Amino acid sequence: MPRLLVALFILTGLALTGCAGWQLARSYALTHAPGVQALEGEITGYHRILSRYRDSAGRDRTGAWFPQPVFRFTDPQGREHRVVDPGFHLFERYRPGDGVALAWLPADAPIGRDTLTALLTRPGVVIDDFFSRYLFWSAVLVAGLPFIILPLWVGLPSAAGQAALLDRPLPPNLPFTARHLLWVLFGLFAFAALMASKEHLLQLLPAGQGGALVEAARRGDLPAVRQLLEAGADVNHHDRTTGETPIMSAYYHDHPEVARLLLEGGFDPRVEDKVGRNLVYYAARAGDLPALERLLAAGAPVTSSFEDVLSAAIARRMPETALLLVAHGHPLDHLTEGNGGRRFYPGDLAILAGLPTVVAGIARRGGPFTAPRGFVDAALGREVTAGGEAVGFGRMTLARWRSLCAGAGTAPGRE
């Protein structure tokens, strides 16, 4: 047992110091690469976009509205750039108008592309927070050294000497000894190992037919899904890691035919996964209108606590899905924050996305707008009297909007 503890401590120390050393070497390689120049940039605001991210299970996800920092800077050649989310760091301390220090790396700089890609999310520029990186990874390096030094220091003397060392106060006149410190470090190691592997440990437990049904739906294995349903598998079983049900997994992994088969069972229309996405969210994301109608008729909530389903459908340019949600009473007053702190209702987003039929459907149900009234009148087929053809809303001009309305079948005088 003592040898096992010593080995665990040494491996933990090597992992911490190795990771810290690697990160410090990467930062050093970038900051000392020939051609790196210090620049100044300015945060101009935050833009909320439909983002992709990776969840704790390692799978790519889409559909969360995250604030992405927008800033501008001028490169050494005098060209002005406007960049969204240039690097991985904490932006909470920045406000629109704040200046930020940047590190500019030319594309032809003699540095490994792997190193550059690992440090930059936008080629050529990164927020210059290397002092924080050096400080953090130096602290990790220092924290990892006791995991190596203490076991070797205790293990080198004879057995009698080991006992004496373990019971000796560190330093003298303090109420704890090396033995106490060893157990504290072991507890920290055990806690870190448990937290790092908890999701994988859960997967080792038998999941039963419900878990098998989730996996079959995730693979799109229609015969296996049908066989499990006939055997009585629970269609409302939650995956231990994500909280997804078989129907959610089928939709997320683009197997709508499997989801439709599962919807023939006794599904719970109000079920949610761990982050608050319900069946309406998944069906709307997949654009499965028959299934969406069935869910709403069964009493499934038209809204999701994860995100505004209507705004997401509009952002993905899915007019039929958006109109179905509007027809079933989806709230129309959700505000989405955009560039420069502007806030948009779903009707405004439909104008920016070029969806006249959705704008008309929202307007007929009394939905609010911040766009000029002429855009709403054109979508409803009314005569546009206010403003000229050059009136704009974001990148959408009234002239272009009227041509989109004409293509959608609306004309002046029609309601």
Q: What's the rounded Cα separation, in Å, for the pair 165 and 139? A: 27
pLDDT of residue 75: 75
pLDDT band at 397 (very low <50, low <70, confident <90, very high): confident
Which of 264, 291, 307 finishes a domain?
Answer: 307
Looking at the structure, do residues 295 and 381 belong to the same domain, yes or no? no
3-state secondary structure 19-39: HHHHHHHHHHHHHCCCCCEEE
pLDDT band at 365 (very low <50, low <70, confident <90, very high): very high
Is residue 205 situated within a structural domain? Answer: no
Looking at the structure, do residues 256 and 370 belong to the same domain, yes or no? no
Q: What's the rounded Cα separation, in Å, for the pair 233 and 227? A: 9
Total residue length of the chain: 415
pLDDT of residue 414: 38
Q: Which amino acid is residue 51, in one-letter code?
A: S
Give the range among 147-161, 280-294, 304-318, 335-349 with minimum mean pLDDT: 147-161
pLDDT of residue 247: 95
Q: What's the rounded Cα separation, in Å, for the pair 371 and 18? A: 55
Torsion from C-alpha of 170, 176, 179, 184, nearest 10 degrees: -110
Is residue 113 situated within a structural domain? Answer: yes
Looking at the structure, do residues 300 and 337 belong to the same domain, yes or no? no
Is residue 354 situated within a structural domain? Answer: yes
Looking at the structure, do residues 302 and 318 belong to the same domain, yes or no? no
Is residue 171 situated within a structural domain? Answer: no
Q: CATH number, domain at 269?
A: 1.25.40.20
Residues 6+ apart with CB under 8 A from 47: 67, 68, 69, 70, 84, 338, 339
Looking at the structure, do residues 302 and 398 belong to the same domain, yes or no? no
pLDDT of residue 250: 93
pLDDT of residue 301: 93
Q: What's the rounded Cα separation, in Å, for the pair 110 and 114? A: 12
Residue 268: give the domain boundaries.
Answer: 211-307
Q: What's the rounded Cα separation, in Å, for the pair 308 and 401? A: 25
Q: What is the model's pTM?
A: 0.55
pLDDT of residue 88: 40
Looking at the structure, do residues 230 and 280 belong to the same domain, yes or no? yes
Looking at the structure, do residues 341 and 238 belong to the same domain, yes or no? no
Using an 8 Å Cβ cutoff, are 287 and 321 in contact?
A: yes
pLDDT band at 415 (very low <50, low <70, confident <90, very high): very low
Q: Please tell me the total count of domains within the chain.
A: 3
Is residue 16 situated within a structural domain? Answer: yes
Q: What's the rounded Cα separation, in Å, for the pair 6 and 25? A: 28
Is residue 365 situated within a structural domain? Answer: yes
Looking at the structure, do residues 315 and 227 belong to the same domain, yes or no? no
pLDDT above 60: residue 269: yes
Q: What's the rounded Cα separation, in Å, for the pair 46 and 184? A: 44
Looking at the structure, do residues 221 and 300 belong to the same domain, yes or no? yes
pLDDT of residue 153: 64
pLDDT of residue 336: 81
Q: What's the rounded Cα separation, in Å, for the pair 208 and 240? A: 12
**pLDDT per residue as tens digits for the range 210-228:** 888 998 998 889 999 999 9
pLDDT of residue 60: 52
Looking at the structure, do residues 338 and 239 belong to the same domain, yes or no? no
Say if residue 390 is exposed, middle or buried (CB neighbours under 10 Å; 0-12, 13-18, 19+).
Answer: exposed
pLDDT of residue 71: 74
Average pLDDT over residues 181-201: 66
Is residue 186 situated within a structural domain? Answer: no
Q: Which two tokens stand for residue 343?
A: 């806030």
pLDDT above 50: residue 81: yes
Which of 307, 335, 370 finishes a domain?
Answer: 307
Mean pLDDT of the chain: 76
Which of 106, 132, 158 finishes a domain?
Answer: 132
Average pLDDT over residues 192-206: 58
Using an 8 Å Cβ cutoff, are 374 and 386 in contact?
A: yes
Looking at the structure, do residues 248 and 321 belong to the same domain, yes or no? no
**pLDDT per residue as tens digits for the range 226-245:** 999 998 899 999 887 788 99
Looking at the structure, do residues 341 and 282 belong to the same domain, yes or no? no
pLDDT band at 385 (very low <50, low <70, confident <90, very high): low
> Which has the closest alpha carbon to 57: 271, 200, 217?
200
Is residue 173 situated within a structural domain? Answer: no
Q: What's the rounded Cα separation, in Å, for the pair 413 and 133? A: 63
